[in-house]
Amino acid sequence: MLRKAKLATLGLLRSAGAFELVANNKWRRERLLILCYHGISLEDEHQWRPPLYMQAELLERRLETLRAMRCTVLPLGEALTRLRQRDLPPRSVAITFDDGTYDFYKLAYPLLKKHQFPVTVYQTTYYTDHEMPIFNLTCSYLLWKRRGEQLDSARELGLAEAMDLRTELGRHRVVRGLIELSERENLTGQQKNELARRLAGILGIDYAAFSATRILQLMNAHEVAEVGKNGVDVQLHSHRHRTPEDEVLFRREISENRVRIRAMTGTQAIHFCYPSGVYRPEFPGWLEKENVISATTCDAGLVDRHANPFLLPRFVDTSSRTQTEFESWISGLGTLVAVRKAAPQRYVVPED
């Protein structure tokens, strides 16, 4: 009910010309909108997990909207520098993609090149080095493919309860059980992949064919190098997509991630994105020690020059966002109508 009321209000404000009024305002010119995207569906991922995936057609409409609304799309680093210098052009926007998935390379990257828009990719690197599907995402997706079923084969996987796939909660319990099993037995990434293969066999899914689609996989080293060579700004997202609460382990995640990115792109990564949008008060200080100069969150908002450079808000765009919502955030009015913290996207299991 509240969402319907908000959308109705935004529709009335757009019709009344409020979007254009705010977009042209000095207040908006002094602020940067950082857009956040995750996955672009190779097949049906947007149906499985709408908060993470959108179709390529929708992404293209978003990019066309940026041009139609006369936005200035800037590289992230330049945008943050010009923000501090109070030199932002009208309707400034920076585009970011989290994780560095293969679908970015296959679908998003060509669209961004077509529109000549700069983009930052926050690249996690464990699954770049180890080319296989991301374990817990894969388990969730495969179980969703068999939604509505009940299976008595759980013991073959080491699970105590039968697999009830009729509800999202039931499927989540199976995924949670598999993750706990992998942690309890200290499985390597390759062993987790074999467990996912066994799950696929029980579900009657051809795991080799699934893997060949590159769904739920990251860009490999050659693909990261290619996009980096052709203008994509590849930045830090931790090596194993995790933020340990121990300083030594946290900083190791950054340094390992940076070393791998430098090896692939030849550039020194200095901007960071918190995996799953999760951060703690001590993290900014640890990042500063690693010579990181900015960090983005999944908190909703526009960035002004007084913002903490290690807690930069973004607008997380998803399949469930309407065109009116998207336009309201470009104009700046969206953040005035409602600002709330986005729910963290906890979806990549740490790897050793």
Question: Measuring CA to CA, which residue among 276, 271, 266 is closest to residue 287?
Answer: 271
| Pair (208, 222) in one structural domain | no
Of 195, 212, 229, which closes a domain? Answer: 212
N-to-C CA span, the chain: 44
Would you call 327 exposed, middle or buried from its count of C-beta atoms within 10 A (0-12, 13-18, 19+)? buried
| Pair (222, 322) in one structural domain | yes
| Pair (261, 288) in one structural domain | yes
Could you give the CA distance from residue 340 to residue 272 in angstroms, rounded to a whole number?
22
Could you give the CA distance from residue 46 to residue 55 in angstroms, rounded to a whole number?
7
| Pair (95, 207) in one structural domain | no
**Stretches in the chain below the pLDDT threshold 70:** 338-352
Is there a domain that residue 308 lies in?
yes
What pLDDT shows up at residue 344? 41
pTM score of the predicted model: 0.93
What pLDDT shows up at residue 345? 43
Could you give the CA distance from residue 122 to residue 34 in angstroms, rounded to a whole number?
13
Spatial neighbors of 218 by CB under 8 A, at least 6 apart, are 99, 100, 101, 102, 123, 124, 125, 127, 128, 131, 134
Question: Measuring CA to CA, which residue among 350, 291, 336 is closest to residue 28?
Answer: 336
| Pair (104, 227) in one structural domain | yes
**What letter represents residue 296's amino acid?**
T
| Pair (31, 54) in one structural domain | yes
Spatial neighbors of 58 by CB under 8 A, at least 6 apart, are 319
What pLDDT shows up at residue 1? 72
| Pair (203, 228) in one structural domain | no
Of 189, 212, 235, which closes a domain? Answer: 212
What pLDDT shows up at residue 151? 87
Is there a domain that residue 87 lies in?
yes
b/e code 145-173 from CB counts within 10 Å (16+ = b): bbeeeebeebeebebeeebebeeeebbeb
What pLDDT shows up at residue 155? 77
Could you give the CA distance from residue 43 to residue 212 in angstroms, rounded to a whole number?
13
Chain centroid to Cα 39, Å, comes to 7
Would you say the C-alpha torsion 240, 290, 247, 303 has a positive or negative sign? negative
| Pair (185, 52) in one structural domain | no
| Pair (119, 195) in one structural domain | no
CB 301 within 8 A of CB 339: yes
Is there a domain that residue 333 lies in?
yes
| Pair (233, 126) in one structural domain | yes
| Structural domain that includes position 148 | 135-212
